Amino acid sequence: AQKVTQAQTEISVVEKEDVTLDCVYETRDTTYYLFWYKQPPSGELVFLIRRNSFDEQNEISGRYSWNFQKSTSSFNFTITASQVVDSAVYFCALSEGYNAGNMLTFGGGTRLMVKP
Amino acid sequence: DTGVSQNPRHKITKRGQNVTFRCDPISEHNRLYWYRQTLGQGPEFLTYFQNEAQLEKSRLLSDRFSAERPKGSFSTLEIQRTEQGDSAMYLCASIPPGTVSATQYFGPGTRLLVL
């Protein structure tokens, strides 16, 4: 069975601080996909990034970066120089891919509060 | 290309009433997913369709829940004899055909409150 754990339920930082959101996953499949979504107060889930299990390259997109480590089954998300607009709940999710139905298993989420 | 849309956005009902939600996926997306999100939790998978066929249902989907996608376009999720425990956000997502690692794009959700 798949499982995603986000141990940090809530993080509070001051604007311009860097912050890392942790994600640990469990799966028995060798092919899988990892995602991060952002859920602002409006409620809509906004897609941020997808990684597949064969690509361990880290990725950077502006102030966002992701660190994927298969050895520790982790897919952590770092926001550099946080801004108030980054305040939201962030979800890490796992899928076994299209042929397995592509259903997402989500972690419990991390609520990030960025204070001015 | 418009995104996934869901209606209504909010629904308040009394316990025991039936409610129906609608999801319109992104055009030409053949797979459509329903999730439920309770307060303070991550979304949980309920069911999904490929075209008009319902291919999988979670054990969370009790007999009071039924979902349809009659023409392979929009989908409806009906809850009969609602209970207070059904209060949640119901999310819909869709993906295009044929992409192995397809990303699910979500609608804005329908927030249900059962009094």
* Residue of A4, A9, A44 to mutate for B, most B C-beta atoms under 10 A: A44
| Chain B touched by A44 (CB under 8 Å) | yes
Q: 3-class DSSP state for residue A71?
A: helix
Running DSSP on this structure, what letter comes out for residue B43?
A: -
Show residues of chain B in contact with A50, CB under 8 Å.
101, 103
**Dihedral angle, C-alpha B79, B85, B89, B95, nearest 10 °:** -60
A41 in B contact zone (CB under 8 Å): no
Q: What is the pLDDT averaged over residues A68-78?
A: 95
Query: How confident is the model over B51-109, as pLDDT tens digits?
Result: 999 999 999 888 999 999 998 899 999 999 999 999 999 999 998 887 666 789 999 99
Burial class (CB in 10 A: 0-12, 13-18, 19+), B18: exposed
Q: Which has the closest alpha carbon to B33: B71, B72, B64, B75?
A: B75
B76 or A51, which is more confident: B76
CA distance to partner chain B, nearest, from residue A25 (Å): 14
Distance CA A77, CA B42 (A): 17
Give the span between the Cα atoms of B44 and B73, in whole angstroms: 22
pLDDT at A98 over 70: no
Q: Among all residues of chain B, which has the CA nearest to that of A51?
A: B101
pLDDT of res. B72:
85
* CB–CB contact B41 A108 (8 Å): yes
Q: Is A35 on the interface with B (CB under 8 A)?
A: yes
Mean pLDDT across A103-109? 96
Name chain B contacts of A47, Cβ cutoff 8 Å: 103-106
pLDDT at A58 over 90: no
Q: How many CB pairs under 8 A join A and B?
A: 67
Nearest residue in A to B96, CA atom? A98
**8 Å CB contact between A36 and A94:** no
As a whole number of angstroms, the distance between CA A24 and CA A5 comes to 5
A81: contact with B, CB 8 A cutoff: no
The predicted-structure confidence for B22-53, as pLDDT tens digits, reads as follows 999 998 889 999 999 999 999 999 999 999 99
